[in-house]
Amino acid sequence: MKIAFANSAWVGAAERLILRGGGWQKIRLRVRYGLIIHPQAGPVLIDTGYTPDVTTGAGRGTMLRLYGAVLRPELVEAEQPVPVLARFALTPRDVGTVIVTHFHADHISGLSLFANARFIASDAAWLRLKARTARQNLRHGVFTELFPADFEARLDGLSTMKQVPPRGDIPGGADLFGDGSVIAVDLPGHADGQFGLLFPEMDRWLLYAVDVQWLFKALVENRTPGYPARLLAEDFAAIDRTSAMLRRFLAAGGEVMFCHDPEPTPYDLEPAAG
């Protein structure tokens, strides 16, 4: 099984907004998404990153247009899903599964590209999303116009999957493909229904912890940002508990990576030539 991550865009933020005690200097954050070449499931995406649907898409509502104008993501054209798939001799129609770790725009904006894919996501979080008003969903950072119209018909919920129990400081969760190769680990705090992905078959167990923290430094130094970052969290108090679990996983010999940390990892694709 091959795992690779691409950087769909760069987004700037003042350090103190994402690292308690940080300065005002701007940090350029990655917006990663992943690709798994699975021996049985075939090409599988982990989220989609930012795509033009957020920055220039004709279907954007007023609030999504404002969101794009405020954050101003700088799309990396060579690392958008279509050219990245082409590097593996694939097209969007070859992707049979998209794992949706949570429903924020920088993770779902390209879902409409994948007409043949099933979507793995938290079905409990989806039901809560459907029960909310449009205004309530905006409060949760969800722009419903980014979902394909048939999203629910193609949804494979985590609750339907076999659960793998934790082993000491190694977390458990839903076995996404029934073979123990990819485990969905509940990561409460940042967003409703957020889960990360544990890869137990790696030489060193890898946990892609998505948006528990923006910086790895914030995790290992226990410098979770406070106000105003706490206003963006679904459950700010849960971030500390989830972060403590990740630190125990690290101490047990595991490896953690995040969506937005700017430092390159061994799993990041090399920039495309030219």
Model confidence pLDDT, tens digit, residues 83-113: 999 999 999 999 999 999 999 999 999 999 9
Instruction: Report pLDDT for 226.
Output: 73
Q: Is the dihedral of CA 70, 114, 45, 242 positive or negative?
A: positive
Does residue 267 belong to any structural domain of this protein?
Answer: no
Which are the contacts of 72, defined by CB distance < 8 A and separation ≥ 6? 11, 12
Exposure string of 200-228, with b = 16+ CB inside 10 Å and e = fewer, is: eeeeebbbbbbbbbbbbebbeeebbbeee
Instruction: Report pLDDT for 231.
Output: 73
Does residue 202 belong to any structural domain of this protein?
Answer: yes
Q: Is the dihedral of CA 227, 60, 110, 180 positive or negative?
A: positive
Instruction: Report pLDDT for 229.
Output: 74
> SS3 of 268, please?
strand
Reading the block at residue 166, the tokens are 């934790």
pLDDT above 60: residue 274: no
Number of domains in the chain: 1
Listed range (54-58, 125-129, 247-251) with the worst mean pLDDT = 54-58
Instruction: Report pLDDT for 145.
Output: 96
pLDDT per residue over 235-269, tens digit each?
A: 999 999 999 999 999 999 999 999 999 999 999 99
Does residue 272 belong to any structural domain of this protein?
Answer: no
pLDDT per residue over 26-40, tens digit each?
A: 999 999 999 999 999
Does residue 252 belong to any structural domain of this protein?
Answer: yes
Cα 48 from Cα 45, distance rounded (Å): 7
Cα 57 from Cα 106, distance rounded (Å): 14
Mean pLDDT of 194-222: 96
Distances (CA, A) of 192 to 5, 124, 150: 23, 9, 21
pLDDT bracket for residue 232 (50, 70, 90): confident
Task: Name the percent of the chain lying above pLDDT 70.
Answer: 99
Instruction: Report pLDDT for 273.
Output: 64
Does residue 156 belong to any structural domain of this protein?
Answer: yes
Does residue 51 belong to any structural domain of this protein?
Answer: yes
Q: CATH number, domain at 43?
A: 3.60.15.10
Mean pLDDT of 141-149: 96
Look at strands 74-75 and 2-14 and give their pairing.
Answer: antiparallel
Mean pLDDT of 10-23: 92
Does residue 73 belong to any structural domain of this protein?
Answer: yes
Q: Which domain holds residue 200?
A: 2-257
- Rounded to 5°, the CA angle 95-99-101 comes to 155
Does residue 93 belong to any structural domain of this protein?
Answer: yes
pLDDT above 80: residue 234: yes
Listed range (67-71, 127-131, 160-164, 251-255) with the worst mean pLDDT = 67-71
Spatial contact of 103 and 129, defined as CB atoms under 8 Å apart = yes
User: End-to-end distance of the chain based on CA atoms, in angstroms?
Assistant: 28
